[in-house]
Amino acid sequence: MLQLLAYLHDSELVARFQRGCGLVLVEATNHSRGGTRAQTGTPGARWQGDHQDKNSNYTQKENGHAAVDRSQPQYEVKNWLLHFLFLLSAGLGHEIFYITCLPCIHWSLDPFLCRRLVNMWTVVMYVGQVMKDILKLPRPRSPPVVKLEPRVDAEYGLPSTHAMAATAISFTLLLSAPSRLQFQFEVGLLIAVTLSSLVCLSRLYTGMHSVLDVICGVFISLTLTFLTYPYWETLDRFQLTSPISPVVALFLPLLLSYTYPELDHYSTTRGDTTTILGAGAGCSIGYWVNVQLGQTFEPQEGLPVPLPALTGGALVRTFARFLVGVVAVVGTRQVVKTLSLRALYSWYSVPKSDDSARRRREIEVPSKFVTYTSVGLMNSILVNRVFLLLGLL
């Protein structure tokens, strides 16, 4: 059993998958910074693989300290179709997807489904992030692996939270939708398996996780989904009707953010986890407020309802809602983030030029929590009311 686990966690297994997909490590004698094309004259395009984020120079612990990796090996892309497919699939687990596309389920389909997704996404991601920093298993080594997302290389590997989120979102939607929408379950199952599989494979292609990380991520997510499934209705009633629901929704995530496990080097996991908990808290409070105001924007009769017809007018309204909604939530994010950081820098007497102060817990946690709680409130309460004013519902 230990040999099997070691094999599944082996970096060379990931490297073989990358090579099979046309992503090949190039031995270079001179690694320069800057993300430029390497002038080599061999088939395919060779790129300097250094996309180092200024806030994430730390990569891997060595001798009890965080090592600083200031260069990445060059790589060659031989199959651009798979390259872009897997990069797009990996993007389904990043903030840009969560803050733009995921709320569209609320705006254009059914707030009920979005509420279920947000609840499970928050639980699954918190469990996955905490497990990473408790187990402390390293990510694949480079070389032999090509790493395409060095920003998160300081994080530990097991489990893959991309795999966990994709699995939770796909199967929560699949389990929740039959009571709300008319669709062929087999088609939904095929879509859920396909999307979650693409995200899982993308974590191998980008070199950020081992096969063991991905398998454990999928297994943990499925286990959490099916263990909590019998209690979803009970949670719905509490979340929407209990007078203490907004108090629990606000203070429990805030407590979990402040008590997140400490590491001996900086990692993006605490900040990312606070982001998730804040967004979940904001959405939960927003759904409770909507019930108190008597306007939830959910279909009330004739459930399950047919899927909306894809007419030209419907597509135009959907696209308009997407633009207005994204401007609202992204604008909220930028404004609240800026104001919260200014207030915290002033409170702790930190120079405005000190970007590294954002990593301190007393600044990172409240700033991110307030920012994304505001984003959740905007998404769940205000955006649909803006649609009503603009005649987009």
Token duo for residue 237? 């009633």
DSSP per-residue codes, 283-328: HHHHHHHHHHHT------SSSSEEPPP--HHHHHHHHHHHHHHHHH
Distance CA 182, CA 178 (A): 7
Distance CA 248, CA 307 (A): 34
Query: In this structure, is the dihedral angle defined by the CA atoms of residues 199, 201, 204 and 207, taken in order, positive or negative?
Result: negative
Distance CA 74, CA 142 (A): 11
**Hey, which residues are catalytic here?**
162, 209
* The length of the chain, given as a count of residues: 393
Distance CA 202, CA 82 (A): 10
Nearest residue to 287 via CA among 222, 354, 357, 376: 376
Report yes or no: 146 and 75 within 8 Å, Cβ to Cβ: yes
Which H or E element spans position 255? helix 245-258
Nearest residue to 258 via CA among 245, 244, 277, 239: 277
Integer Rg of the chain from CA: 22
For tokens 């306007």, name the residue: 295
Q: What is the DSSP letter of 141?
A: P
Strand runs labelled E in 119-236: 181-182
CB atoms under 10 Å from CB of 209, counted, come to 28
Token duo for residue 355? 């970007």
Instruction: Please tell me whether residue 26 adopts helix, strand or coil conformation.
Output: strand
Distance CA 257, CA 196 (A): 27
Burial class (CB in 10 A: 0-12, 13-18, 19+), 282: buried
Alpha carbon of 69 to those of 45, 157, 236, 264: distances in Å?
A: 24, 17, 46, 17
